[in-house]
Chains A and B, each alone.
Chain A
């Protein structure tokens, strides 16, 4: 019962956050320079044409009404019409989502398979001699090299020397699996460096916090094998921060692997939004940002619900 009311509160706060987010995005889109009509018609349109466009896009109504219409449509899955192509934005997003999702899945898989074991290992070894400064430096480097620098380096190396992988030249997964993977491995690898480093750091911190608990001392005293202690006591108790960081990375990758998609010419969601800002296609920008924020809010809510299951103490803490 307590857990249920905790989930209900969490759901309510997520809805509230999303509402404020949508107001903010709507306000931002109205503050952007050069209004809607300006972009559609160009500078030489007469007043009649302006009025016609305003009527067509509902710009002659009050801002509150406009916001209400926009939100109602967005909830139903209608994200508006691209001002430049005249096509529905939602359709364009649907075409591009698989690319971004594939990139995200590859990045998160690397974070889980490499980042978590690395974090546990460095935490357990933390008290011992050697490797400390080197591990910190390597971890720090992974977090510190921006994706546009690492990505550029990768583009340079693989453009100059053909090493079997291609830079750009994206092919859909359904069309040719081999060619698709050859074009996705490099961007995914660049993204995963950051994902692995952040996951490893968080895992290390979480594990270090668990290792000082009395029940670990007790397990060591009982003579349990180190691997068993890690599996049974350490990982379970360290799982919540790790879950949170993996969720955040997932949401960020889904909402904005913007730079990597741009650099490697991948037709994903992020590169679409960036092009739209350049072309002042505000309907697309508005929809893209809303989508990214919504993904984040929903994912963190799900992660919180999972945390409640992983650690029953959380649900009980509610007053």
Chain B
């Protein structure tokens, strides 16, 4: 609750948007809002109406439940991937930052190698090896987001390990495991939270881009990227097919970024000055 009170209005709006999206996805999958996403209900490519609030697609399926399902798939895949990234980056970053030496060098080298691939190119390579699908999407997001997060966690851990309280803990004979868990981890958790938020928006972007190219989530499963890709085919005949998932995707990414900015400003405040 304290986090909420400390956020600025724009970041609060972002957080609210995110919660609404999650609730909408849950309403679709748990309570069946909008009906069956796979059921053919009416005429093909029907524009939005009272009966089908977001219109129907090329097979006559109602778009509302499909968009809700898409939100769920996209958010779930990205969140899972970011959790994996956060765990790996935390372990690698803290160990490299605290221990230093050849271990840190090795971690940094590995990270540099992954960093050398442009995001979407790395994702395409992963999809080519694993075959298109959810596993490739998840794996791509992890590989794309891990380098930056590991680097920043390492930098934060390095700064922390030079502090006096770490020195005194070492002198008092506290075991290294306890030092890492009780003293280093809590002090880098802010960095992890902020970077995790940004990684989530990157994850959504990667899912969208990969599925848009046809290497991500595969139809008939729906995700925001798949819906946008399919909508692109009927862009001129039925623009609403692309418009709704497109808007939802932008809102999701914007909400996460704005929330992340607010979180960062809270955790790493910085003053400004005037030039006159």
Q: Give me the interface of A with B, judged by CB distance under 8 Å.
A: 13, 16-18, 20-21, 24-25, 28, 31-33, 123-124, 126-128, 133, 136-137, 140-141, 143-149, 152-153, 155-156, 159-160, 208-209, 211-212, 216-217, 220, 226, 229-230, 251-252, 255-256, 258-259, 262-263, 273-274, 277-278, 282, 285, 288-289, 292-293, 296-297, 300
Contacts and interface: CB of A to CB of B under 8 A. Distances in A.
Contacts of B235: 152, 155-156, 159
B258 A143 contact: no
Given A140-B254, A146-B205, A293-B116, A28 B121 contact: no
A289 to B, nearest CB: 5
B65 interface: no
Contact of A32 (B115, B128, B215, B232): B128
A171 B64 CA distance: 41
Contact of B119 (A256, A262, A282, A288): A256
Contact of B109 (A20, A127, A152, A296): A20
The CB with the most chain A CB atoms within 10 A, among B9, B115, B116, B239, is that of B116
B122 to A, nearest CB: 8
B127 A277 contact: yes
The CB with the most chain B CB atoms within 10 A, among A21, A149, A155, A255, is that of A149
The SS class assigned to the A binding surface is helix
B158 interface: no
A255 B125 CA distance: 13
A13 B275 CA distance: 41
Interface residues of B, number: 50
A133 B213 contact: no
7 contacts: A128-B274, A136-B10, A156-B239, A208-B272, A277-B124, A285-B124, A285-B125
Closest 7 CB pairs of A and B: A256-B118, A144-B254, A255-B118, A144-B253, A127-B272, A226-B275, A149-B246
A21 B228 contact: no
B201 A144 contact: yes
A292 B121 contact: yes
Contact of A146 (B9, B115, B131, B249): B249
A25 B9 CA distance: 46
B156 interface: no
